[in-house]
Amino acid sequence: MQKTGLRFLLPYMRPYRRALIIGTLYAFIGAGASAYSPTWLGQAVDALNRGAPPRTLALYALGLLGLSATLALFRYLLRMLTGNIAAGITYRMSQDLFHRLLLFDRETRQRYGTGDLLARSTNDFIYIWRFYSAGFQMFMHALFLLLIGCLLMSRTSPALAVMVVVMLTVSIAVQVRLGRILERSFVQVQQEIAKLSAFAQEHLNAARMLTAYVQESAVGEAFRKANQRYVERNLKFVLQSGAISPFPSLMVRIAATVVVFVGGMMIIRQQLTVGQYVQFIVYLGLLNSGAQQITGAFERLQQGSAAAARIGELLQRWPKITDSPNAKDVELQGHIRLEDVGVWAEDQKRWVLRHINLDIPAGSSLGIVGPTGSGKSMLISLLGRIYDPDEGRVLIDGYDLRELKLSTLRRTVVYVPQESLLFSMPLRNNIALGIPYVPDARIYQAMEQARLSNDLSQLPRGLDSMVGERGATLSGGQKQRAAIARALVRNPKVLLLDDALASVDMKTAAEILHELRHSQTQCTRIIVSQRLAAVQDADQIIVLDHGRIVEQGTHESLLAQGGFYAEMYRREVEQASEERAHAKA
């Protein structure tokens, strides 16, 4: 896991190679100043014992001040540098991740879940930031401090230095060995955070329904259990980390005990001066600090590596729907043809669509009806290349959709789903989403075609009225009409309406469809609807059942056949009559 995580970070580090080299130099100078301070102090103590004059002691004091100032300056420069590196790496990595999330197909998003993706997109980056901003500079400073300190100690007393180095080596080796356990434990903590995030996101979106069914207590209890699992995982990680972290300090204290005893005996035998003895004691304090910094840096390394592995798992997943190497960018008119198209659902082990053959001339209209689960939405998803067929071909103007650039296809084919997604921004921006500098006249025209212009008077600031998150300030019908206006403002060659009038009243829906027939004559219109009234004026209508076309024709010809469509129409007329009777009563 650790190697995998660091492998994903390496490409983002390459632009900062020069900065990393400079940071290493800063760490070396700062650590060198810190490591030389005990040697300078030991020489000052020996000079004092020899009866050095005050001027000499003052020079030693100024030297210690100079070393302290050098340490402070280069630690500051290193911290600023690593902060910039952390900001740059996390910025570029988060940009890549967000772009990849937008391209993911529905199956991938469902596999991970919104909560898990949110946790990886936010919480995991905190640990990558911590690794670079604090972990790197701590590790480099501590590493050079230990190396230079041990080298200077060996010049004074090789025997004592060897004992200290052996103990520190054992300490670091144990840390590296046990660090793998910490990383696995931290991954489990991150997984529990993702589950909590998914739970909160799902239930906050359903807050009104939970209140209506008086489920607040039950949901609160379920969240408490999920939170308890997170606490247990986190506590396990903290306990493991707490058991490993004191080990370097323990080894340094053992080394201090050895130095106090052995060093004292060497002073008695006149093998070591008092200044050198003081030097060793101070070195042990510095080495203890360095060992603690190594521990902190290693913990951040484990966390950053685990977080990078979770993010890298998403970055290495490419969307199934991508441009082919020789994808074409051409002007399209909207003539659609499906040739023996089939779609296999692996999770359901069945054909969602099979043997679909259609010819939809440019500028014509097609209505698609059928029972729930018959494959209507899948068929319209193929036309927008949200999915690719497992059998057959989908063509537009003679080009297989897989031969066209996605940008070309998305510019030509505009899809309006049943669930209209609006963003927390002004209504104007929601309608003109992704199109810069749209004139107000064009926006008003699209709103008129979608019959949304009549609702402007209900909005406090007209087009500049803020639309709440997911369109919370608008009714269901207003959201659907805003989505249709967003599609129409693009002047599409192909317009796909996937039950996009389900929340619009019958009268307004009829007006919108009438407007589309007469104002969008150059646009191929494909309408999926549960209400036959929405498709009865289409140039041709198909009836889907169990993924196959069971009937095809115009409204009149299908009624004359007396089959599936005629029965659906009869039930719809009876239901409308009953509703009118209840309304009069």
The answer to whether residues 88 and 204 belong to one domain is yes
The answer to whether residues 132 and 200 belong to one domain is yes
In this structure, what are the phi and psi dihedrals at residue 562, rounded to the nearest 5 degrees?
65, 30
The answer to whether residues 126 and 182 belong to one domain is yes
Residues contacting residue 92 through CB under 8 Å, at least 6 positions apart: 12
CATH number at residue 514: 3.40.50.300
pLDDT at 169: 74
**Residue 307 covered by a domain:** yes
**pLDDT tier at 579, thresholds 50, 70, 90:** low
Cα pseudo-dihedral 106, 108, 114, 116, rounded to 10: 180
Look at residue 112 and tell me whether its pLDDT is greater than 70: yes
| CA atoms of 348 and 454, how far apart (whole Å) | 45
Taking residues 277-295, what's their average pLDDT?
74
Look at residue 287 and tell me whether its pLDDT is greater than 50: yes
| CA atoms of 17 and 23, how far apart (whole Å) | 10
Scored b (16 or more CB within 10 A) or e, 489-501 reads bbebbbbbbbbbb
| CA atoms of 140 and 138, how far apart (whole Å) | 6
pLDDT at 358: 92
- Does residue 145 contact residue 34 with C-beta atoms inside 8 Å? yes
Q: Which of residues 315, 347, 369 is at a domain's end?
A: 315
User: Which tokens sit at 27?
Assistant: 């760490």
| CA atoms of 154 and 280, how far apart (whole Å) | 10
Cα pseudo-dihedral 410, 414, 418, 420, rounded to 10: 80
| CA atoms of 569 and 585, how far apart (whole Å) | 24
pLDDT at 357: 93
pLDDT at 73: 92
Shortest CA distance to 20 belongs to which of 95, 86, 91?
86
pLDDT at 40: 80
Question: Residue 522's CB: how many other CB atoms inside 10 A?
Answer: 12
Least confident of 213-222, 427-436, 500-509: 213-222
Look at residue 2 and tell me whether its pLDDT is greater than 50: no
Look at residue 311 and tell me whether its pLDDT is greater than 50: yes
| CA atoms of 49 and 57, how far apart (whole Å) | 11
pLDDT at 366: 92
**What Å distances lie between residue 541 and 280, 498, 538, CA to CA?**
91, 14, 6
Strand ranges across the sheet with 336-345: 350-360, 336-345, 391-396, 399-400
pLDDT at 394: 92
- pTM value is 0.67
**Residue 561 covered by a domain:** yes
The answer to whether residues 413 and 309 belong to one domain is no
- Does residue 241 contact residue 179 with C-beta atoms inside 8 Å? no
The answer to whether residues 163 and 74 belong to one domain is yes
**pLDDT tier at 307, thresholds 50, 70, 90:** confident
Task: Residue 386: give the domain boundaries.
Answer: 336-418+493-584
pLDDT at 258: 74
Count how many domains the chain has.
2
- Does residue 286 contact residue 145 with C-beta atoms inside 8 Å? yes
The answer to whether residues 346 and 309 belong to one domain is no
- Does residue 229 contact residue 192 with C-beta atoms inside 8 Å? yes
- Alpha helices, H only, 319-475: 376-383, 406-412, 427-431, 440-449
- Does residue 389 contact residue 402 with C-beta atoms inside 8 Å? no
Q: What is the pLDDT of residues 364-412, one digit of tens each?
A: 989 999 888 888 888 988 888 888 898 999 999 989 998 888 888 888 8
Taking residues 344-360, what's their average pLDDT?
87
Taking residues 73-87, what's their average pLDDT?
89
Q: Which of 12-16, 48-52, 217-221, 449-453 has the highest mean pLDDT?
A: 12-16
Q: Which long-range contacts (CB under 8 A, 24 or more apart) does 400-403 make?
A: 402/324, 403/324, 403/326, 403/327, 403/328
**Residue 399 covered by a domain:** yes
**pLDDT tier at 194, thresholds 50, 70, 90:** confident
| CA atoms of 513 and 527, how far apart (whole Å) | 10
| CA atoms of 425 and 432, how far apart (whole Å) | 11
Cα atoms in the 13 Å half-sphere on the side-chain side of 532: 23
pLDDT at 471: 60
**Residue 71 covered by a domain:** yes
The answer to whether residues 211 and 132 belong to one domain is yes
User: Average pLDDT over the chain, rounded to whole?
Assistant: 80
| CA atoms of 68 and 37, how far apart (whole Å) | 8
**Residue 269 covered by a domain:** yes
User: Which tokens sit at 492?
Assistant: 């599409």
The answer to whether residues 308 and 356 belong to one domain is no
Numbers of helices and strands, H then E, in the chain = 19, 12
**Residue 459, burial from CB neighbour count under 10 angstroms (0-12, 13-18, 19+):** middle
**Residue 500 covered by a domain:** yes
Look at residue 438 and tell me whether its pLDDT is greater than 50: yes
**Residue 242 covered by a domain:** yes
CATH number at residue 42: 1.20.1560.10
**Residue 29 covered by a domain:** yes
The answer to whether residues 398 and 507 belong to one domain is yes
Q: What is the pLDDT of residues 469-505, one digit of tens each?
A: 666 667 777 888 888 888 888 888 899 988 887 777 7
Q: What is the pLDDT of residues 321-342, one digit of tens each?
A: 788 888 888 888 889 999 999 9
The answer to whether residues 309 and 378 belong to one domain is no
The answer to whether residues 78 and 115 belong to one domain is yes
Relative orientation angle of helices 158-205 and 274-315, to the nearest 10 degrees: 30
The answer to whether residues 248 and 384 belong to one domain is no
pLDDT at 470: 63
Taking residues 141-151, what's their average pLDDT?
82
**pLDDT above 90 coverage of the chain, percent:** 6
Relative orientation angle of helices 136-156 and 54-103, to the nearest 10 degrees: 150
Look at residue 1 and tell me whether its pLDDT is greater than 50: no
- Does residue 2 contact residue 300 with C-beta atoms inside 8 Å? no
Look at residue 436 and tell me whether its pLDDT is greater than 80: no
Taking residues 63-92, what's their average pLDDT?
88
